[in-house]
Amino acid sequence: MIQFSEVSLQRGTQFLLEEADLTIFEGQKVGLIGANGAGKSSLFAMIKGELNSDTGELILPGQRRIAFMAQEVEETQRSALDYCLDGDDKLREIEKNIAKAQQDGDDHAHANWLGEFESANGYTAQSRAETLLQGLGFKMADMHKPVSDFSGGWRIRLNLAKALMCPSDILLLDEPTNHLDLDAVMWLENWLRQYPGTLLLISHDRDFLDAICSHIVHLYQKKLTLYKGNYSNYERQRAEHLAQQQVNYEKQQAKRAHLQQYVDRFRFKADKAKQAQSRLRMLEKMETIGPAHIDSQFEFSIPVAEKTSQQLVNLSHANLGYISETGTQTVQLENSNFALRDGQRIGLLGPNGAGKSTLIKSIVGELPVLSGERVTGENLKVGYFSQHQLSALDLEASPLLHIQRLSPRVLESEIRRYLGGFGFIGDDALRAVKGFSGGEKARLALSLIAWTKPNLLVLDEPTNHLDLEMRQALTEALQAFPGSILLVSHDRHLLNSTVDEFYLVADNCIQNFDGDLTAYYAWLQARQNNTAQVEKAKQEVVKLDKTDRKEERRKAAEMREKLRPLRKKIEKHEKAVQKAQEYLDKISEAMSDTSLYEAEQKDKLQSLLEDEAKWKKSLAENEEAWFEAQEELEEAESQ
């Protein structure tokens, strides 16, 4: 159980929490929502022990492992796989102890730590880490690349994998979907649904919250309010609460007006003064109920260009991809045919790296087509949003100045009124961009696009860094936009609410996808299962090949051992034959001496003849034995 009891937390001169109460029970999956800057990340820091409350008490369960997703990745040459495995710090400690026991020659300690290794599921750790990384979009070829080779977004994915790798009782995730594509979001959603511990999740993705959370905590006006159910249930409950609050507010205001009228009328009359003072004290003590209101500061629309073309962009038999600095072409989409007409609202689906961004960049003209044609309508006016445009903002300029550069003659008051709809109210419109958060930069980029009055909106992950209120405002603005939309997003609520049809980018081609996001998830699962089966089959072939080679080596060793006596026997007879022949050659040479046949050499001759007979017999016997052994060897080898 995690319990906040009258907790207050002050950062600088501002209170983030003020006498807040909250109880989270073991196994609950809780979504934490609230405006940017309300204190959600500070609440996580308190649970991790990095911040202490100013007043009140935070009670955490003892002997519980807390895993959390770091927001930064240190520069390291460790491989992606090792970095993920580092998330299980207990397993890493066991591995160190095993290595130390081996080094010290301590067999007892070594056996003990091997038992601990098995209990910590050490033998499956690598396969589990690979599964996590693949689920988050990494390929097998990426497993052994150093962390430093990956971009910032992919490093955040590594942090997420590291957090999921850690066996934990409490898991804290702060905006885990920000740098994920739709496929990875769907995979993570399924993983978290099966997580057995207590989950605290900060997210601005309402469909993600809906699919996972059993409770929602709303951090609002320095209080923590717990709602049972997922995000949609929270919305209904809060709407009912606000509606009731509005009724109570109106009743209270009528009562206050009646009391105030009585006080104003009779407070200076002697016979009514006592009653008037009593009602005045009642007014002072009466708790003020805030009026129900839609508290989002975001409300804007996206105007469309006055002129448009029926056919906005047409790609015909086009090869799409990149040209390297050396001039080498890399084709991602072959012989592509894709057309955007006025009023079309298309969502792009497809696995990570399949070419969705390549298609978008080719449509807006950021990438030239490698072959084929790209034809644009006469009145095409594109509003293009992508993450790299946030870094293209002038860090020294204010939102007001950014708009003034586009329209120097427009009145400042009109620009400030426009920027207010994107949350740049008052002095915020005059602040330099260098002090902006990621969400503020995204809002500014969207405001600049809307200001240009496009007739085609091309949006590549526009909701990254945006909170729930801004996402809702963007959804409503896109619903009302009369022009064409081409959208890539991991926010399923945005996709479902704003597009009319889907196209699938996969396997080097673009095709219409006849189905919704549920059908796409089923397609994705089938594809992943097929890929997994193919990979498993390859591994089985490799494993079988290794097994066959091992078996062949074992049989060869057995055969060598079996044939060893025969080979030794053959070698023995070969030496005996050679020895007999050498002696016979010497005897033959000696007997060629004519003096040997004289009477006085009779005994010597007789000795040589006996030796000759003996060695001839030895030669014949060993030759026969050699032939028999050789035949036996050939027969054994042929079996």
**Tens-digit pLDDT profile for residues 524-539:** 888 877 765 655 555 5
CA distance 636 to 639: 6
Residue with tokens 């920000």: 178
Lowest mean pLDDT of 295-299, 463-467, 517-521, name the range: 295-299
What pLDDT shows up at residue 284? 60
CA distance 507 to 151: 24
Asked if residue 125 has pLDDT above 70, the reply is yes
CA distance 361 to 333: 12
What pLDDT shows up at residue 292? 38
What is the enclosing helix (H) or strand (E) of 34?
none
What is the enclosing helix (H) or strand (E) of 208?
helix 206-212
Read off φ and ψ for residue 474, nearest 5 degrees.
Answer: -65, -40
What pLDDT shows up at residue 317? 95
Q: How confident is the model at residue 79 (pLDDT cuts 50, 70, 90)?
A: very high
Residue by residue, DSSP assigns 275-337 as: HHHHHHHHHHHSPPPPPP-----B-------S---SEEEEEEEEEEEEE-TTS-EEEEEEEEE
What is the enclosing helix (H) or strand (E) of 383?
strand 382-385
What pLDDT shows up at residue 464? 86
Q: Which two tokens stand for residue 294?
A: 């839609």
Asked if residue 499 has pLDDT above 80, the reply is yes
* E strands in 140-242: 170-174, 198-202, 215-220, 223-228
HSE at residue 493, side-chain half, CA atoms within 13 A, is 18
What's the mean pLDDT in 61-87?
87
What pLDDT shows up at residue 293? 38
Residue by residue, DSSP assigns 462-528 as: TTTT--HHHHHHHHHHHHH--SEEEEE-S-HHHHHHH-SEEEEEETTEEEEE-S-HHHHHHHHHHHH
What pLDDT shows up at residue 324? 84
Q: Which among 354, 22, 66 has a CA at the least distance from the CA of 199?
A: 66
What pLDDT shows up at residue 280? 64
What's the mean pLDDT in 176-203?
93
Tell me: the pLDDT tens digits for 383-400?
A: 999 988 888 899 999 999
Query: Which residue would you say has higher pLDDT here, 274 or 223?
Result: 223
Lowest mean pLDDT of 66-75, 182-191, 243-252, name the range: 243-252
Tell me: the pLDDT tens digits for 572-630?
A: 888 888 888 888 888 888 877 777 777 787 888 888 888 888 888 888 888 888 888 88
Tell me: the pLDDT tens digits for 158-169?
A: 999 999 999 999
What pLDDT shows up at residue 76? 84
What's the mean pLDDT in 92-96?
93
Asked if residue 92 has pLDDT above 80, the reply is yes
Asked if residue 199 has pLDDT above 90, the reply is yes
Q: How far is CA 378 from CA 289, 311, 375, 381, in A?
A: 57, 9, 9, 9
**Side chain identity at 443, as an amino acid letter?**
R
**Side chain identity at 53, as an amino acid letter?**
S
What's the mean pLDDT in 48-67?
89
Q: Which two tokens stand for residue 174?
A: 């702060």
Q: Which two tokens stand for residue 162?
A: 């590291």
Tell me: the pLDDT tens digits for 231-247?
A: 988 888 887 887 777 77
Asked if residue 544 has pLDDT above 60, the reply is no
Q: How confident is the model at residue 564 (pLDDT cuts 50, 70, 90)?
A: confident
Please say whether the beta carbons of 333 and 320 come within 8 A: yes
Q: How confident is the model at residue 467 (pLDDT cuts 50, 70, 90)?
A: confident
Q: How confident is the model at residue 299 (pLDDT cuts 50, 70, 90)?
A: confident
Asked if residue 263 has pLDDT above 90, the reply is no
CA distance 163 to 497: 32
What's the mean pLDDT in 64-90?
89
What pLDDT shows up at residue 539? 58
What pLDDT shows up at residue 534? 58
As a whole-number percent, the residues of the chain with pLDDT over 70 amount to: 91
Q: How confident is the model at residue 62 (pLDDT cuts 50, 70, 90)?
A: confident
Q: Which among 542, 494, 511, 171 has a CA at the least distance from the CA of 359?
A: 511
- Using only C-alpha atoms, what is the Rg of the chain? 41
Lowest mean pLDDT of 176-180, 618-622, 634-638, name the range: 634-638
Q: How confident is the model at residue 296 (pLDDT cuts 50, 70, 90)?
A: low
3-state secondary structure of 59: strand
Q: How confident is the model at residue 567 (pLDDT cuts 50, 70, 90)?
A: confident
As a whole-number percent, the residues of the chain with pLDDT over 90 amount to: 51
Lowest mean pLDDT of 23-32, 115-124, 291-300, 408-417, name the range: 291-300
CA distance 363 to 375: 9
Lowest mean pLDDT of 114-128, 252-266, 448-462, 526-540, name the range: 526-540
Q: How far is CA 82 from CA 65, 129, 165, in A?
A: 21, 9, 11
Q: What is the mean pLDDT of the chain?
A: 86
Asked if residue 639 has pLDDT above 80, the reply is no
Tell me: the pLDDT tens digits for 332-381?
A: 999 999 999 999 999 999 988 889 999 999 999 999 999 999 999 999 99
